[in-house]
Amino acid sequence: MSGGEIDEMVIRAKLGKSKLIVVKVGASSLSDENGKIDFEKINSICVEISNLRRRGIDVVLVSSGAIKAGKAIISDSLKNNEISSLQAFAAVGQVLLMESYRDLMAAKGYKVAQILLTWDDFRSKTRLKNLVNTIQTLLSLGVLPIINENDTIAVEEIKFGDNDTLSALVATHLNSDLLVILSDIAGLYSGDPSLPSSKLISFVPEVTQEVEDLASSKHKGFGGMKTKLKAAKMVNSFGIPMVIANGGEFGILERIINGERVGTLIGSRVKNEK
């Protein structure tokens, strides 16, 4: 075993000491093969979060999926490619998404809270302070905060990005111990993930230019791998490690916390190091 491998497994083992983690789940991890919201997948996420809560680990969930959920309800009467339609899908779908999280978490003994954000909430010191205080209060009450960007008014988010950057901002301002981004691929690959010759990269100590060159905007998922690496650079600069993993793998969150070699771990430091 090389020194790099030793370092990786040491860092992974320390993830089990996390007290607060931010989990971002993409719409692709909540959808079926037809692109519609899969409530069994939402339930799987809820089961995992419940298990972490029972271990004393606080979780903040950043969940995409509102637009896809809305399309399943009102897509026949709107043009899918118009910004106003996407905003309408988000408005309708967010209700369905939160209703699902509420009912599924309630069945496991937990309450949820919805928080919709825009970039302005992070630009304003007062609003940012209120946001952090609110989330901390919810966590102290045992409530699961579920965050999404306010797609109904955040035109740029719908057009250009996704929730990867939002989850990184939340993680840094909450001073979390770990950020996990769940996608529909297992992590960062050495090439096109669809090619057999491409290998999963289990550990990236630092996001260098060479690492960024591996990222392709053609990956599945609106933001692709580039936004995930951007998120990693952001949280790593605050000493927070990040893991990219496949949200469809059974027990993925617990496996990460248990120190298993799954997904791609990015960052060579952990916040609980002394």
64 carries a ligand binding annotation: yes
Give dist(CA 225, CA 129) in Å, integer.
Answer: 30
Give the count of beta carbons closer than 10 Å to the beta carbon of residue 134: 13
Give dist(CA 251, CA 51) in Å, integer.
Answer: 10
121 carries a ligand binding annotation: no
- Please give the full DSSP string across 170-203, using - where no structure is assigned: HHHHTT-SEEEEEESSSS-BSS-TTSTT--B--E
183 carries a ligand binding annotation: yes
Q: Tens-digit pLDDT profile for the chain (274 aa)?
A: 344 455 899 999 999 999 999 999 999 899 887 778 899 999 999 999 999 999 999 999 999 999 888 888 887 666 666 788 888 889 999 999 999 999 999 999 999 999 999 888 998 999 999 999 999 999 999 999 999 998 888 766 544 357 999 999 999 999 999 999 999 889 999 887 778 888 999 999 999 888 888 876 454 433 488 899 999 999 999 999 999 999 999 999 999 999 999 999 999 887 655 4
- Please check whether the domain covering 3-266 is classified as CATH 3.10.50.40: no
202 carries a ligand binding annotation: no
In the chain, DSSP finds a helix count (H) and a strand count (E) of 11, 8
Residue 131, sorted as left (phi over 0), alpha (psi -120 to 50) or beta, turns out to be: alpha
24 carries a ligand binding annotation: yes
104-113 b/e (C-beta count within 10 Å ≥ 16 → b): bbeeeebebb
C-alpha 69, offset from chain centre = 17
Model confidence pTM above 0.85: yes
163 carries a ligand binding annotation: yes
